[in-house]
Amino acid sequence: MSDSSDLLHRFLLPDAHVRGAHVRLDATWKHVLSHASYPEAVEALLGEALVASALLSAHTKVEGRLSLQARSSGALRTLFAECTAAGTLRGIARLADGEAPPQNLASLGSDAMLAVTIENPGLGGGEPVRYQGLVPLESPTLSGALEDYFDRSEQLPTRLILAADGERAAGLLLQALPGAGSDDDGWNRISLLATTLGHEEMLDLSADILLTRLFHQETLQDLGAKPLQFGCSCSQGRVEDMLRALGREEAEAAAGASVSGQAEIICEFCGKHYHLSSSEIDRLFLAPPAVTPSSRLQ
Ligand SMILES: [Zn+2]
């Protein structure tokens, strides 16, 4: 295994009948934070969500992208993290104006939901195929909410350990393999070992050292590592789709409000600026939309 940061490792503990994934983010996480400033608790939640999106993409068959989205009418309106099959990540948190920032997911209110969405490319270049799983956010922690999600969706014992600070983010996913293994105590032993992991240990150690430290008495099979990096899929075309979806009035208001007479749209994920003049906006509403109105900047 490599010692460099920003990697997704997959591994198997064959004797214990358990599979796992480990993610560590350094430069990717710093890049996400360079575009926004969040209260400490929200920052930690976003770092954990990014790590979790990568862990889940390792676990599930993802050919396009996998996203996690927590939504609520409480102080944290949106928590969004996405990992693509190519290993690019991006994420964002949106807070309600004028409300105290949440300290954890429990303070989001009873309507808070967590959505796990997988979007794979359609066959023969057709419309993307989306699968979405929804769970109510009943746990105060993201790892707890995702364990609830696995309980409901796959019914396989799953453990997630997530950690993030302003510099690094890391996580570990462990899941019992389907069917019975030869070792009846395998899952209990592995999940108990994982509970001994401290927050700092999680953030400080490379996958190599961490997995060796935890599972040195187990057979550990390395299934390979994949590099991860920041990446945003915004484009001029997607911005135009979004303005079309907003409608002519709002698009023209955006252009009219600026001194230059151009609508300026800044991607919240990567900070890239897009400009459209009034005549370009006119053109948007003359041409038939190339896509459905549900298209979004994401
Ligand atoms: Zn962008």
pLDDT tens readout for residues 62-73: 889 999 999 888
Ligand 1 centroid to 298 CA: how many Å? Answer: 8
| Lowest-confidence pick of 101-105, 122-126, 256-260 | 256-260
> The tokens of 202 are what?
């999680």
Ligand 1 centroid to 233 CA: how many Å? Answer: 6
Ligand 1 centroid to 31 CA: how many Å? Answer: 12
Q: Assign a CATH topology to domain 236-286.
A: CBS domain Like (3.90.1280)
Ligand 1 centroid to 152 CA: how many Å? Answer: 33
Average pLDDT over residues 149-176: 93
Ligand 1 centroid to 127 CA: how many Å? Answer: 22
> The tokens of 141 are what?
């922690």
> The tokens of 205 are what?
């150690």
Ligand 1 centroid to 32 CA: how many Å? Answer: 11
Q: Residue 287 pLDDT more than 70? A: no
Ligand 1 centroid to 153 CA: how many Å? Answer: 31
Ligand 1 centroid to 219 CA: how many Å? Answer: 42
pLDDT at residue 296 in the model: 46
CATH (one of 3.40.50.300, 3.55.30.10, 3.30.420.40, 2.60.40.640) for 7-230: 3.55.30.10
Q: Is the distance from CB of 227 to CB of 26 less than 8 angstroms?
A: no
pTM of this structure: 0.88
Q: Is the distance from CB of 174 to CB of 146 less than 8 angstroms?
A: no
The pLDDT mean for the chain works out to 88
> The tokens of 16 are what?
């214990």
Kindly report the three-state secondary structure assignment for every residue of 20-82.
Answer: EEEEEECHHHHHHHCCCCCCHHHHHHHHHHHHHHHHHHHHCCCCCEEEEEEECCCCEEEEEEE
pLDDT at residue 295 in the model: 43
Ligand 1 centroid to 272 CA: how many Å? Answer: 6
pLDDT tens readout for residues 11-41: 999 999 999 999 999 999 999 999 889 999 9
- What is the domain partition of the chain in residue ranges? 7-230, 236-286
Report the range out of 175-184, 221-230, 242-251 with the highest average pLDDT.
221-230
Give the integer Cα–Cα distance in Å for 189 and 161.
16
pLDDT tens readout for residues 177-225: 988 777 788 999 999 999 999 999 999 999 999 999 999 999 999 999 9
Ligand 1 centroid to 117 CA: how many Å? Answer: 19
Ligand 1 centroid to 294 CA: how many Å? Answer: 18
In 3D space, the residue among 159, 196, 188, 197 whose CA is nearest the CA of residue 20 turns out to be: 159
pLDDT at residue 138 in the model: 87
Q: Residue 293 pLDDT more than 70? A: no
Ligand 1 centroid to 266 CA: how many Å? Answer: 8
